[in-house]
Amino acid sequence: MSDAPREQATEVPGEPPAEPGTHLRVAVVLLVAASGAVETISFTALDHVFAGVMTSNLALLGMAVGRAQATGVTAAVLALAGFGLGAAGTARCARRQEGTATHWSRPVLLCLAGEALLLAAGAVVWAVLGGAPGRAARDVLQFGAALTMGIQSGAMVAAGRAAAPTTYLTGTLATYIVKGVGAGRPNRWVPVRLAALIAGAAACMAVLRTAPDWAGLLPPVLVVSALLSAGAPANRSRRAAPGGE
């Protein structure tokens, strides 16, 4: 049997490639802010590893091995495993989709919805435990946080030109400096994404300090907001269609 038809881009030969709409760029910014919030909880309130920055976690794993620190090794391995599983699962879900610059495909949106549900479940567990989980709960939450960041990273790869990195921005910053500022063609959305990472982390840290039970709520709210932004044109089209509400 043949594969299911792939989603095709709607570009016209000879015309400049389509650019993502503002609604998609805003959705990416919101996802970056969500990743900043998740990293804050992961690094400061769990076991001092990152949920979405696996390069750093590999270095942290090496340092933990060098110090013979079992807790650090466990945390880094859990983060690496969770991220890998999330990214692999998303790749399987979206494997027959070709990214376009105009919208996020249904599988991408479903994966991000799954991420939001997992983050919401983690927020409930965090609140029930009073923002102070024990050893076993921290391990579960660490794995879950990395799982969500793996899903988000995989979804942005599957979205192709309609998206951008949201969990690891070192390459984004380097490209912006070399090919943007250095070449006189800076992308104004890159500083916005970098600022969103800082803002998401700062906001989550403020909640951790003042109302730790509620710190887990910010990431799922931001991901849901990103989904609403990404689907805004489709929702408007349905309302405008004859017979629409």
pLDDT digits (tens, 9 = 90+) for 41-87: 999 999 899 999 999 999 999 999 999 999 899 999 999 999 999 99
Q: Which residue has the higher pLDDT, 134 or 4?
A: 134
Per the domain annotation, does 6 fall within a domain? no
Residues 6 or more apart whose Cβ sits within 8 Å of residue 202: 36
Whether 181 maps to a domain, the answer reads: yes
236 within domain boundaries: no
Structural domains of the chain, count? 1
Range of the domain at 30: 22-97+111-228
Residue 85 lies in a domain: yes
pLDDT at 6 (0 to 100):
42
**What angle in degrees, to the nearest 10, is found between the helix axes of 54-67 and 70-93?**
150
Identify the band that residue 11 occupies on the pLDDT scale cut at 50, 70 and 90: very low
Q: How many Cα atoms are found within 13 Å in the side-chain-facing hemisphere of 66?
A: 6
Total Cβ atoms within 10 A of residue 240: 8
pLDDT of residue 245: 46
Report CA-CA distances (Å) from 98 to 90, 104, 156: 14, 10, 12
pTM of the shown model:
0.87
Whole-number average pLDDT of the chain: 88
The string of pLDDT tens digits covering residues 141-167 is 999 999 999 999 999 999 998 999 999
In a domain, 4, yes or no: no
The tokens 């391995």 sit on which residue? 77
In a domain, 191, yes or no: yes
Contact in structure between 122 and 145 (CB atoms under 8 Å)? yes
- Confidence at residue 186, expressed as pLDDT on a 0 to 100 scale: 76
On whether residue 149 sits in a domain, the answer given is: yes
The answer to whether position 144 is within a domain reads yes
